[in-house]
């Protein structure tokens, strides 16, 4: 009985450690502003895609500059929305921003 209790205790400790690590992995911004975080994560991903495609020769520098300018417009709009609502963007604003990002994403390619 003592051996099984020790195993259960160790399993419970491991589970709690895993839960606490995942809770720490999310920043306060990610927890408090999930919509903004999602929009900003997409912008970062698109920026990486642009960089990769320039490196691979699929986009030239002028095209990359134009696409990044579009990304900056989306980011400015996201910040403007948040500024008007105490740091929060609404679901409709997120949909609007995602639509703009989708348009840019299609122009970046794969």
pLDDT digits (tens, 9 = 90+) for 42-52: 999 999 999 99
DSSP 94: H
* C-alpha 24, offset from chain centre: 17
The pLDDT of residue 26 is: 77
Q: In 3D, which of 101, 75, 107 has the Cα closest to residue 89?
A: 75
pLDDT, mean over the chain: 84
Q: When comparing pLDDT for 22 and 106, which is higher? A: 106
Longest Cα separation, the chain: 71
Would the pLDDT of 11 be above 80? Answer: no
Domain chopping of the chain, boundaries: 1-28, 33-108
HEC string for 47-82? HHHHHHHHHCCCCCHHHHHHHHHHHHHHHHHHHHHH
Q: What is d(CA 19, CA 15) in angstroms, rounded to the nearest whole number? A: 6
* C-alpha 105, offset from chain centre: 15
Answer yes or no: pTM beyond 0.75: no
């Amino acid at each position: 009985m003592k051996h099984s209790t020790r195993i259960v205790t160790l399993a419970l400790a491991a589970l709690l450690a895993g839960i606490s690590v995942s809770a720490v992995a999310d920043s306060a911004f990610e927890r408090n502003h999930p919509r903004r975080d999602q929009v900003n994560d997409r912008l970062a991903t698109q920026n990486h895609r642009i960089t990769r495609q320039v490196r691979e020769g699929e986009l030239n520098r002028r095209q990359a500059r134009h696409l990044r300018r579009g990304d900056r417009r989306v980011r400015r709009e996201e910040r403007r929305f948040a500024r008007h609502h105490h740091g929060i963007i609404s679901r409709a604003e997120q949909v609007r921003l995602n639509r703009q990002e989708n348009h840019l994403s299609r122009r970046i390619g794969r």
